[in-house]
Amino acid sequence: METQAGISGGINHALIGTRQEVLVEGAGDMTGYPLVGRCRRQAPEVDGVTYVQGGAAETGKIVTCRITAADDYDLFAEVI
């Protein structure tokens, strides 16, 4: 798991600054990020999620975001 966390973290950090389409899944549970969703590369129950802030987005909609931060498994984004 430690090895995989390093691999995943490297991939996620390489996405910082990129534009990604995010499928909004609903309300987020992280302070400052009211929505949570998934990029194309994030499979449910297997991969992390993308926490989304800014803009108006509805559950079930795809929004374009800029990735602003990352950790080993999750991405943090801002609606463009």
CATH number at 24 reads 2.40.50.140
Percent of the chain with pLDDT over 90: 74
pTM of the model: 0.91
Give the per-residue SS3 of the chain: CHHHHHHHHHHHHHCCCCEEEEEEEEEEEECCEEEEEEECCCCCCCCCCEEEECCCCCCCCEEEEEEEEECCCCEEEEEC
Q: What is the pLDDT of residue 73?
A: 92
- Split into its structural domains, the chain has a count of 1
**Tens-place pLDDT, residues 21-41:** 999 999 989 999 999 999 999
